[in-house]
Homo-oligomer: A and B are copies of this chain.
Amino acid sequence: ARDMVAEGLIDRNEAVRRVPAGQLDQLLHPIIDPSVRAVPLCVGLPASPGAASGVAVFDPDSAEVRNAAGDAVILVRDETTPEDFHGIVAARAVLTARGGMTSHAAVVARGMGKCAIVGCKDIEVDLEHRRFSVDGTQICEGDWLTLDGATGRVFAGNLATIPSEVVRVTSGAITAASSPVYQSYSELLGWADEVRSLKVRANADTPRDARIARAFGAEGIGLCRTEHMFFEGDRITSMREMIVARDELGRRRALAKLLPMQRGDFEGIFEAMNGLPVTIRLLDPPLHEFLPHGGEEGKLLARTLNVPRSELHRIVESLRESNPMLGHRGCRLGITFPEITEMQGRAIFEAAVRAMRRGIDVRPEIMIPLVSTVAEFDHQRAILEEAAQQVMGVMGENVDYLIGTMIELPRAALTADEIARSAQFFSFGTNDLTQTTYGLSRDDAGRFLPAYIESGIFGDDPFQVLDARGVGRLIRIAVEEGRRVRPDLKLGICGEHGGEPRSVALCHQMGLDYVSCSPFRVPIARLAAAHAALDAK
């Protein structure tokens, strides 16, 4: 298309129009060398594109150990939980036997731009013997695997992969001048940026992710999930100390240890996004996700925290939930334990002041999750404003900030006018909003959703393509009624849909200000936003 523009055959807009946004994916991820011929072991759901080879490992700790020893590893699990996070970080790719396109493994890997194949039903993971079998073939720990995340194919052995040129340029490995592919890509996206009105942000949880996002053209961070920071290194121990504390004093003691770590992360993210908005979501997942569930790790934790094992077991059991997705999480945590919100608020404002003192233009937007009534929002906002006043008073600097909310529950959308009187922005959490609108758990849908789509009962997987009729209607209600009471209400989405071309088009039509997606999907969203703008002309 670029050549045709050069030749004067089509104009720039037509060039932008002719490149399907989804096609950019292949420019961004490594692929298996097309000259290699091999028969796949099995095929799962292509949850996150890219090709990767590595040795199979079956638990996150082994992944970390082998990665530290210099091995390329592929983490193979029945399904992953937040406790696998460090294993996913250490792995080149993730393969799971269960879970759908928006299961934990899929979402986390996609967020990291890392290859993932999930819901690969044919494999049977035998954790005890550290192997899996598929159709009689056994793959043991240490055996090589190659995954093609674009097609969901899993191969035995170490197949050759080719890295993407575009990524090598954005990561600084090669220069733009040496890459004609990058130049085309870059020029095309430049044209796209000229026509689109929808802004594109990225979901990024660390300074490193923020830098990658910016290199891909993100115009801010739409979702920084603070909980991911709590899983790294020794932080999980302080987090667990907070959870098992008997009283507020004990919680505050543990939170005091977490504060400087969070502050450091936020400062790094503000630095990476100098001049751009950074939306930080307060702690969201239920606390039991941070605790070990028995076994060696439980024993160790009891010793580290000096808590009797029976007491620790009792705490873990008392936090167990029937439906964690609908349980004690989001702002419900911050309301039960205001000291958590207070710590997070302090960490954000202290980081902001420190960054400002270094000349960085800081634009924090603090986001309160899982709000269902304006009273919940007001409760949390008051704590954050108090923290802001304290920090700014002590440090003698003024930080410009916004406080807004996720709209991820139907009730929040249906009462958007009340909430918008108090909230300065809405970010539609379309993953959770889809789950609650459909009454459908992402993690459990794998058992029947494929059949639903195959038989046409669902036209699309609603976790991949935003549902215009149901979820979209709630968003429209919230946009319209929210803007009616606050005309300058900032509106965006931060679900996985933000990187899916048809969903991006819908967001444009619904009048949102921005979409936010995984860093590696930012170029796709930029192009899709341009398509939406051109289609509306």
Contact = CB atoms under 8 A, between A and B. Distances in A.
Closest 10 CB pairs of A and B: A326-B441, A411-B470, A327-B444, A323-B441, A409-B439, A410-B410, A322-B443, A323-B325, A321-B444, A323-B323
Of A414, A418, A458, most buried by chain B (CB within 10 Å of CB) is A414
A376 B449 CA distance: 12
A375 B328 contact: no
Interface string A112-137: 00000000000000000000000000
A469 B439 contact: no
Given A326-B325, A375-B457, A457-B375, A437 B451 contact: no
A456 interface: yes
A474 interface: yes
A253 interface: no
Nearest to A326: B441
Contact of A376 (B324, B414, B457): B457
Contacts of A373: 457-458
Contacts of A474: 410, 414
A211 interface: no
A99 B456 CA distance: 39
Contacts of A432: 439
Contacts of A48: none
A474 to B, nearest CB: 7
Contacts of A138: none
Given A327-B447, A372-B437, A379-B457, 20 more contacts: A321-B443, A321-B444, A322-B441, A323-B325, A323-B441, A326-B439, A326-B440, A327-B444, A327-B445, A328-B447, A336-B447, A336-B448, A372-B438, A375-B456, A375-B458, A376-B457, A411-B437, A414-B470, A415-B469, A436-B437
A452 to B, nearest CB: 7
Contact of A439 (B372, B375, B440, B458): B372
Interface string A400-431: 00000000111100110010000000000000
A132 to B, nearest CB: 15
Nearest to A322: B443
Contacts of A447: 327-328, 336
Contacts of A445: 327
Which residue, of A326, A370, A457, has the highest number of chain B Cβ atoms within 10 A?
A326
Given A457-B376, A457-B379, A408 B323 contact: no
Contacts of A321: 441, 443-444
A435 interface: yes
Contacts of A346: none
A444 B335 contact: no
A18 interface: no
A332 interface: yes
A245 to B, nearest CB: 16
A473 B417 CA distance: 13
A447 B329 CA distance: 11
A260 to B, nearest CB: 29
A459 B169 CA distance: 56
Interface string A312-353: 000000000111111110001001100000000000000000
Contact of A410 (B415, B457, B470): B470
A473 B410 CA distance: 11
B473 A414 contact: yes
A470 B440 contact: no
B335 A452 contact: yes
A441 B435 CA distance: 13
A467 B456 CA distance: 34
Nearest to A320: B444
Contacts of A467: 411
Contacts of A408: 439
Given A438-B372, A469-B415, A325 B322 contact: yes
B437 A328 contact: no
Contacts of A452: 335
5 contacts: A322-B444, A326-B439, A376-B457, A410-B439, A410-B474
B328 A444 contact: yes
Interface in A372-395: 372-373, 375-376, 379
Contacts of A418: 469
Contacts of A443: 321-323
Contact of A327 (B441, B456, B457): B441
A449 to B, nearest CB: 9
A437 B456 contact: no
Interface in A53-104: none
A280 B98 CA distance: 34
A411 B415 CA distance: 16
